[in-house]
Amino acid sequence: MSSHYDPTKSVSSSAAYPEVSFHHGHADDATFRKKVKKTTILLSVITVIELVIGLAIYNIHKGANPSELLVLMFKGVVCILTLAKAFYIVSVFMHLGDEIRNMIMTIVVPLMLFIWFIIAFVADGNSYKNLRNQYDPYFKESTMPSKHHGEKHEAAPAEKSGKE
Amino acid sequence: MSAAMHVHPEVATTHEVHHDEHHVHHHNETFISKYIFSMDHKTIGKQFLITGIVWAIIGGLFSVLFRLQLGYPDQSFPILETFFGKWAKGGQIQPEFYYALVTIHGTVLVFFVLTAGLSGTFANLLIPLQIGARDMASPFLNMLSYWFFFLASVIMFSSLFITTGPASGGWTVYPPLSALGQASDGSKLGMDLWLISMALFIVSSLLGGLNYISTILNMRTKGMSMTRMPLTMWAMFFTAVLGVLSFPVLLSGAILLLFDRNLGTSFFLSDIVVNGEILPNEGGSAILFQHLFWFLGHPEVYIILLPAMGMVSEILSVNSRKPIFGYMAMLGSLFAICILAFLVWAHHMFVTGLNPFLGSIFVLLTLLIAVPSAIKVFNWLTTLWRGNIRFTVGTLFAIGFVSLFISGGLTGIFLGNSTIDIHLHDTMFVVAHFHIVMGVASMFGMFAGVYHWFPKMFGRYLNNTLGYIHFWVTLIGAYLIFWPMHYQGLAGMPRRYLDKSSWVSFSQFGDLDKMITVVSIIVFAVQLMFVFNFFYSIFKGRKVTTQNPWGANTLEWTTPIRPGHGNWDGEIPEVHRWPYDYAKDGRDFIPQTEPVGEHESKH
Amino acid sequence: MSTQSTVHQTKWWSGGKSPFNLEYGKLMMWYFLMSDAFTFGAFLISYGTIRFSQNFWPDPNVVFNAFPGAGHANLPLAFVSVMTFILIISSVTMVLAVHAGHKGDKNGVIKWMAWTIVGGLAFLGCQAWEWHHLITGEHAVLATTIDGNNYIDMIGQTMGGNPWGELVDPALAQSALAASSHETLVHLAHEFPKEGMAAASVESLEKMSSSQLAGMVDVAHAHIREKGPIAFGGYFFGITGFHGFHVFSGVVINIVMLIMTQKGIFEQRGHYLMIEKAGLYWHFVDLVWVFVFLCFYLI
C-alpha cells in the first residue's frame, strides 16, 4: 500500500500548470495595442454605418412612397454588419481566434443550430399571421396597416357624431 | 483502503482557492463532507441515483393511482380517501387530482428520474473513472449541481401539499391553461412552483453538463484520445451537449411564461375569455410556447436515451466478450442523433396549425433519425452475434433495452409522418410509443447500468435471483402494459381522459384497461423489490473480492475495489489502446492500460 | 507557500498536455456563454416570431427618439448609439485589463478594471433613464370603448400597452376628442395648441370646458396614433431587462475582481486567470447587446 496517492510527494516544479500553458505568446505590447486599436476603430465605424442605415430607413419610411424592397435590403446589410461586429468581438476581444482549431470548432459548430432555429421559428410565425389574415377577419381588419391613413376609418366619424 | 480519501477535494479543483496553509486538517473527513456536501464525483453520482430512486417511487406510485382510475373508473376505493382526502372524495379519484397525477408523473419521470437520475448518476460516476481523471473539472460546481437538483426536488415536492394542488396542465405545461390561474386550480400556485422548480433544475443540469463537457474534452489521461474513449463516454458527452444547448431555451420559455402569469405580459396569450371575463392580452402566440418547449423537449428525449445507449453498448460488449461492432459507426450515429435531435422539434406540433410545408421538412428530418437508430440497433445485434454471452442481470437489461428500443422506435415512424399523426395525435398510441422507446427502454438502460456498476459504486453485488425476477417481470409487464395501448390508440382512444367508459366505441377496451392496471400494479411492486435489493445490497450484499469482476478493459476497473476521492492510489493510468480488445489474439480481454505488443494484430 | 499548492493542483490532474491547451475554468466559461447565447437566442427568436406573426410593428426610430435634456426634440437612435459606444469602450478597457493581467501588471489591471466598471454603471444608468422615459412618457392614442365610441387616451410604453400604432387620420382624431377626459384635453391643449395660439398655462386650461379645449388642440401636430401591439413592451422590457441583469451581474463580478486584485490575491497566485474569465463574461454582455441593438433599434 506504499503506492497510495499522496499529494505532498513527488513534487516537480517544472510540471506546474501544464494545463495552464495557454499564454499564447502575445507578441509584443505594441502589436497588441495596435490590434486592439484597429478593432475598436473597426467596431465604431461599423456601428456608425449601422446608425446611418437606420436613419436612412427612417427617412425612407417618412417619404411619400416608401420602397419596401430598399428597406429590406438595408435591413439585410445591417444584419450582415452586425454579424461582422460579433465576429470581431469574439475573435479579437474574447481571443477565440488565438485558441487552437478544435477548441474554436466546439464553439462555432453548435452555433450553426441557430440557422434552422431562426428559420423554422420565424417561418412559422409568418405562417401564423397568414393563417389569421385568411381565417380571422377581425384580426385582419384590426391590425392590417392601411395604405392611406384614415381610409379605413371613414365610417367611424359618422357613427360617432350620431351619438353626440 | 481509505488512504486515498485523505486527498482533500479543494486542492483538486480550483486555481482560485488556496488551502495550502491548512491542508493537513482535511485528512479527517467528517460525515457531512464525505456523504452530504461531498465533492467526490462518485458520491455525487450516488446522491443523484438515490434521489432519482425516491422520485421514481413517487412517480411510479402516481401512475398506479391513475391507472386505478383508468382501469376501474366506476369503482370506489375508500383507502384513497383515507390518504388523499378531498382529492379522492368517496374513494374516487377526482378530475383535478387525476390531472395533477398525470402531470407530476410525467414531469418527475422525465426530468427528475430519467435526466437527473440517469445521466446525473452515470455521468458523474463514470466520466472521471473511464477517462482516467481524479475528479470532475470543477468538483465544487459538480456538488452545486446536485444541490440545485435537490432544491428543485424540494420545491416540486412541496407543491404536492398546497391547497390548490400541484401543476396539472400536463408535463408540457402548454399555455393558455398554464398561464391563467383562473382557468383551473392546478394553474395557480402549483404552476408557479413547477416553473421555479424547473428553472432550478435547468441550473443544475447546466452546471452538471458544463462539467461533463469540460472534463471529457480537457481532462483525459495520457493516451486517452477521443476515439479511445468507451462509447459510454461519447454518449455522456453528447447528452451533456444536448442539455447545455437546449435547456436554456426552455428556461427562456419558462421565464416568459412566468411573466405572462405574474406581470400581465402577452407572450403566449391572445384573445381569451375565461369564465365570461375578457382578458386584455393580445398578440401573443400559444404555439410559440410549444416551439420553445419542444426545442428542449425533443433533445430531452435523447438526453434520456443516449446515456442508456452508451451504457448498453459497453455492457453488451463486455458481456458478450467481443469488441463492440462498428465503433466508429456507433460514434457517428451518436453524433448524427445529437444533431438531428435539435432539428426535429416541431414533429410534436403537426396538429397545432403548423405550416404544412414547414411540417413536411420536419417529417423528412424526423424520418432521417431512423438511419442512425437502425445503425445502432444492428451494431448491438451484431455485437451479440456469436458472442460468448454471459447472461448477467445487467446483460439481460441491456438486451431488453435493445428489444424495447426496436419496438418503440418502429412506432415512431408512424408518428413522424404528419399525415398519420393527424389520426394518432394525442391518442394512447403516442403514450405507448414514447413509454416504450424512451420511458421503459431508458429505465432498462438505467437498470443495466446499476446492476453492472453496482460493484464499483458500493464494493458489493446486487442479489442475482431478485435481479432475474426483476428483469423478467419488468420486461413482460412492460410489453403487457404498453403493447395493447397501440390498439387503443389506433381505435382513436384519446390520452389524458379521466373516464372513457361513456363512449360506446371505447367501452370495448374496458377489460383491456383492467388488465393493464393489474399488470402495472404488479410491475410497480417488483420495482419496490428492486429498491429493497438495492438498499439491502449496499450493506449486506455479496462482497466484491477482485478488482475487475467482469473482466472489462475500461479504466474504472483498474481502481481499488472501493476507490477513495482521487480514484487511483498511485499515478493515474496511461492508456495504450481502445477499450474493446476482447477475444483478441487468443486472449479474453486486454485492458486499456496494457501497451500494444509487438506482434499484436490490428483491429 | 503558493508554489507548493500549485504543485498539488498539478499533481491532482496529471494527464499530460491539456488537449485544448486551456485552463478548465475558461473552457467552462466558454460553454456557459454558449448556453447563455441560446437563452438570449431563444428570447430574440421568440420576439422575431411574434413580430412576423403581426401585420403591424412600430418603427424603432419613432419609439426611440428621445435624448436626456433634449425635451421633445426628435433625435432617433441618438441615445442608443451613446449606449452602444459606452459598451464597446468598456469592452476595450476590459481587453486592456486582461492584457495587463497577462503581463502581471497589477496597477494596470486595477486601472482598466475600474474604467470597465465605470462603463458598466454608465450603461446601466442610461438604460434606467430610457426605461423611465418610455414608461412615464405618455402619448395620445385613439381608444375605443366596448360600445364602439372613440376617445383619446394617454398611455405610456408598458408591459400592457403600446402607444406606437399607426397614425390616426386627423379628422377622426378631432372627432374623438369630444369623448376624451378633461385631463387628457388639458394636456393636449397645453402641449399642442393650434397655430397662432399661445400655449396657455395649465391652470387656465383646467378652468375651460371640454368642448372649448377640444377646439384648441392641433390634432395633426399631436401625432395621435392607434394602440400598437402589446407584445412590443413585453419583449422590449423582457429582453433589455435580461441583458441589463447580465450587465449588472457583470459589474458585480468586476467589482469583486477589482477588490481581489487590489488585495493582491492574483499576484500571489501568479496569474490573472480570473480576470480573463470575468473578461469573457463582460465581452459576452457586449456581444449580446450588439444583437439586441440590431433587433430592437435597427430593424
The answer as to whether C289 is a domain residue is yes
B118: pLDDT strictly greater than 90: yes
Report the alpha-carbon distance of residue B56 to residue B43 in Å, rounded: 20
> Do A3 and B3 lie within an 8 Å CB cutoff?
no
Residue C199: the pLDDT is: 65
Give the structural domain span for C173.
139-226
C5–chain B nearest CA distance, Å? 5
Check whether residue C60 and residue C97 sit in a common domain.
Answer: yes
More confident residue, A163 or B150: B150
> Do A93 and C286 lie within an 8 Å CB cutoff?
yes
Residue A58: the pLDDT is: 86
Residue B25: the pLDDT is: 39
Q: Which residue has the cell 465605470?
A: C118
State the total domains in chain A: 2
**Mean pLDDT value across residues B144-172:** 95
* Domain B2-21+29-589 part of CATH 1.10.1060.10: no
Grid coordinates belonging to C235: 419583449
With contact defined as beta carbons under 8 Å apart, do A125 and C53 qualify?
yes
pTM of the model: 0.90
Report the alpha-carbon distance of residue C119 to residue C132 in Å, rounded: 20
- Write out chain C residues lying below 8 Å of B253, CB-based: 42
C89–chain B nearest CA distance, Å? 28
- Write out chain A residues lying below 8 Å of B342, CB-based: 113, 116-117
> Do A123 and B355 lie within an 8 Å CB cutoff?
yes
Q: With bands split at pLDDT 50, 70 and 90, how would you rate the model's confidence at A3?
A: very low
Neighbouring C-alpha atoms within 13 Å toward the C-beta of C101 = 28
Q: With bands split at pLDDT 50, 70 and 90, how would you rate the model's confidence at C51?
A: very high
Check whether residue C208 and residue C258 sit in a common domain.
Answer: no
- Write out chain A residues lying below 8 Å of C290, CB-based: 82, 85-86, 89
* The three-state (H, E, C) secondary structure of B74-138, written as one string: CCCCHHHHHHHHHHHHHHCCCHHHHHHHHHHHHHHHHHHHHHHHHHHHHHHHHHHHHHCCCCCCC
Report the alpha-carbon distance of residue C171 to residue C158 in Å, rounded: 28
The answer as to whether C19 is a domain residue is no
CATH number, domain containing residue C270: 1.20.120.80
With contact defined as beta carbons under 8 Å apart, do B411 and B433 qualify?
yes
Check whether residue A44 and residue A98 sit in a common domain.
Answer: yes
Residue C198: the pLDDT is: 66
Check whether residue C115 and residue C262 sit in a common domain.
Answer: yes
The answer as to whether C247 is a domain residue is yes
Check whether residue C129 and residue C183 sit in a common domain.
Answer: no
**Mean pLDDT value across residues B208-225:** 92
Give the structural domain span for A79.
27-110
Check whether residue A116 and residue A67 sit in a common domain.
Answer: no
- CB under 8 A, 24+ apart: contacts of C135-138: C137/C66, C138/C163, C138/C187
How far, in whole angstroms, is CA B315 from its chain's centroid? 18
The answer as to whether C115 is a domain residue is yes
What are the distances in angstroms from CA A32 to CA A29, C192, C270? 5, 56, 22
Which segment of A19-28, A47-56, B54-63, B514-523 scores lowest on mean pLDDT? A19-28
The answer as to whether C109 is a domain residue is yes
**Mean pLDDT value across residues A47-76:** 88
> Do C233 and B265 lie within an 8 Å CB cutoff?
yes
Report the alpha-carbon distance of residue B262 to residue B270 in Å, rounded: 16
Residue B15: the pLDDT is: 38
CB pairs < 8 Å spanning A and B: 53
Burial class (CB in 10 A: 0-12, 13-18, 19+), B572: buried
B178: pLDDT strictly greater than 60: yes
C179: pLDDT strictly greater than 90: no
With contact defined as beta carbons under 8 Å apart, do B297 and B348 qualify?
yes
Question: Can you give the length of chain C in residues?
Answer: 299
Structure confidence by residue, pLDDT tens digits, C75-91: 888 999 999 999 999 99
User: Average pLDDT over chain B, rounded to whole?
Assistant: 91
Check whether residue A38 and residue A58 sit in a common domain.
Answer: yes
**Which site among C20, C22, C30, C43 would you substitute to test the B interface, given the most B Cβ atoms closer than 10 Å to its Cβ?**
C43
B538: pLDDT strictly greater than 90: yes
Q: With bands split at pLDDT 50, 70 and 90, how would you rate the model's confidence at A6?
A: very low
Interface of A with C in 87-146 (CB under 8 A): 89-90, 92-94, 99-100, 102-103, 106-107, 110-111, 114, 117-118, 121-122, 124-126, 128-129, 132-133, 140, 143-146
Q: With bands split at pLDDT 50, 70 and 90, how would you rate the model's confidence at A26?
A: low
With contact defined as beta carbons under 8 Å apart, do B529 and B494 qualify?
no
Residue B167, by phi and psi: left (phi above 0), alpha (psi -120 to 50) or beta? beta
Of B4, B288, B295, the CB nearest to A4: B4
Structure confidence by residue, pLDDT tens digits, B404-452: 999 999 999 999 999 999 999 999 999 999 999 999 999 999 999 999 9
Check whether residue C70 and residue C120 sit in a common domain.
Answer: yes
Grid coordinates belonging to A20: 495552464
The answer as to whether C15 is a domain residue is no
Q: What is the DSSP string of A43-67?
A: HHHHHHHHHHHHHHHHHHHHSSS--
Residue C62: the pLDDT is: 85
Chain C: list its partners (3+ Cβ pairs within 8 Å). A, B
Is B577 near chain C, with CB under 8 Å? no
Q: With bands split at pLDDT 50, 70 and 90, how would you rate the model's confidence at B603?
A: low
Structure confidence by residue, pLDDT tens digits, A71-124: 999 999 999 999 999 999 999 999 888 888 888 999 999 999 999 999 999 999
The answer as to whether C212 is a domain residue is yes
Residue A17: the pLDDT is: 41
Structure confidence by residue, pLDDT tens digits, B464-500: 999 999 999 999 999 999 999 999 999 999 999 988 8
Check whether residue A75 and residue A104 sit in a common domain.
Answer: yes
Of A94, A114, A121, the CB nearest to C280: A94
- Write out chain A residues lying below 8 Å of B362, CB-based: 120
Residue A10: the pLDDT is: 35
Structure confidence by residue, pLDDT tens digits, B244-273: 999 999 999 999 999 999 998 999 998 899
Q: With bands split at pLDDT 50, 70 and 90, how would you rate the model's confidence at C172?
A: confident
**Mean pLDDT value across residues C113-125:** 97
Residue C94, by phi and psi: left (phi above 0), alpha (psi -120 to 50) or beta? alpha
The answer as to whether C17 is a domain residue is no
Last residue of a domain, one of C167, C201, C226: C226
Check whether residue C156 and residue C202 sit in a common domain.
Answer: yes
More confident residue, B120 or B5: B120
Residue C225's DSSP bridge partners are C141, C167
Last residue of a domain, one of C226, C252, C270: C226
A83–chain B nearest CA distance, Å? 20
The answer as to whether A127 is a domain residue is yes
Is A43 near chain C, with CB under 8 Å? yes
Residue A160: the pLDDT is: 35
B88–chain A nearest CA distance, Å? 42
Residue A16: the pLDDT is: 38
Check whether residue A31 and residue A106 sit in a common domain.
Answer: yes
Check whether residue A129 and residue A67 sit in a common domain.
Answer: no
Is B18 near chain C, with CB under 8 Å? yes
What are the distances in angstroms from CA B539 to CA A104, B51, B459, C24? 48, 18, 10, 37
Residue of A nearest to C89 (CA): A40
Structure confidence by residue, pLDDT tens digits, B299-333: 999 999 999 999 999 999 999 999 999 999 999 99
- Write out chain A residues lying below 8 Å of C48, CB-based: 118, 121-122, 125
Structure confidence by residue, pLDDT tens digits, A110-140: 999 999 999 999 999 999 999 999 998 888 8
Interface of B with C in 178-217 (CB under 8 A): 206, 209-211, 213-215, 217
**Which site among C55, C63, C152 would you substitute to test the A interface, given the most A Cβ atoms closer than 10 Å to its Cβ?**
C55
The answer as to whether A93 is a domain residue is yes
DSSP H helical ranges for B385-509: 393-416, 418-424, 428-434, 441-458, 464-490, 504-507
Residue B16: the pLDDT is: 36
What is the C-alpha radius of gyration for chain C, rounded to an integer number of angstroms? Answer: 26
The residues spanned by each domain of chain B are 2-21+29-589
**Mean pLDDT value across residues C231-250:** 94
Check whether residue C131 and residue C144 sit in a common domain.
Answer: no
Report the alpha-carbon distance of residue B17 to residue B8 in Å, rounded: 12
Check whether residue A133 and residue A79 sit in a common domain.
Answer: no
Is A156 near chain B, with CB under 8 Å? no
**Mean pLDDT value across residues C188-205:** 77
The answer as to whether A90 is a domain residue is yes
The answer as to whether A158 is a domain residue is no
Structure confidence by residue, pLDDT tens digits, B346-369: 999 999 989 999 999 999 999 999
More confident residue, B277 or B380: B380
Q: Give me the percent of chain B exceeding a pLDDT of 70.
A: 95
Check whether residue C179 and residue C260 sit in a common domain.
Answer: no
Count of CB atoms within 10 A of residue B13's CB?
24
Check whether residue C108 and residue C235 sit in a common domain.
Answer: yes
B227: pLDDT strictly greater than 50: yes
Check whether residue A41 and residue A95 sit in a common domain.
Answer: yes
- Which of A162, A161, A153, A149 lies closest to C175 in space, CA to CA? A161
> Do B355 and A124 lie within an 8 Å CB cutoff?
yes
**Which site among C4, C17, C31, C274 would you substitute to test the B interface, given the most B Cβ atoms closer than 10 Å to its Cβ?**
C31
Last residue of a domain, one of C226, C253, C284: C226
B7: pLDDT strictly greater than 50: no
- Write out chain A residues lying below 8 Å of B241, CB-based: 110
B13: pLDDT strictly greater than 80: no
Residue A11: the pLDDT is: 32
State the total domains in chain C: 2
Check whether residue A76 and residue A117 sit in a common domain.
Answer: no
Check whether residue A106 and residue A127 sit in a common domain.
Answer: no
With contact defined as beta carbons under 8 Å apart, do B52 and B113 qualify?
yes
Check whether residue C202 and residue C250 sit in a common domain.
Answer: no
Interior/surface letters B375-390, b for 16+ CB within 10 angstroms, e for the rest: bbbebbeebbeebebe
